[in-house]
Amino acid sequence: MVIISLLSVNGFYFLLTARAQWDFGNRLDLAITLPEKNVAYLALTPEELEVSVPTYDHWIKAACLKHSLDPALVKAIIHAESRFDPQAVSPKGAVGLMQLNPITVWELGIKDPFNPKYNIDAGVRYLKDLLDTFAGDQKLALAAYNAGPTRVYRHNGVPPFKDTKNYIKRVFRYISYYQKNRTS
């Protein structure tokens, strides 16, 4: 008999499996399998799952292949930024699926930032530049994507902003989900 349960720790969900066996002395022996160190197995809430990933999957995969990035990372950013709403506009004017700010839109030469194909390609290109700038450090690249590279340099690392720290945690949580669910 196998028992499966979820354990929540600091917003991360860990999948625990236990194998139950009865020995001849009518004793129950439970062998619990804990997740690997630093691997978050998670279950997203129903609200978090109400997104249209398959609609944009082909553009995400194409842009990631072109710029050598993990599609799970890009899906996680889109999920955190816009929840896959191509018409999303932030209070600060960031637009589209990947929530590109007007300056980035202009710098990358995007004619229609609400067009999912162009928004994804530009966002992936920008993310790749940030990863290259920060020597592949995803945490710093995500901080720069959220708060701007200048703030990351100014604070010599992740800025001490609650929103930025929560954003990074949320993106890593979504990365784990999308890596486990490669079909979506």
Catalytic residues: 81
Of 87, 75, 94, which is closest to residue 115 (Cα–Cα)? 87
31-36: long-range contacts at Cβ-Cβ below 8 A with a sequence spacing of 24 or more? none
Q: Which helix (H) or strand (E) covers residue 14, if one does?
A: strand 12-22
Distance CA 147, CA 182 (A): 28
Pull the structure tokens for residue 95: 């637009």
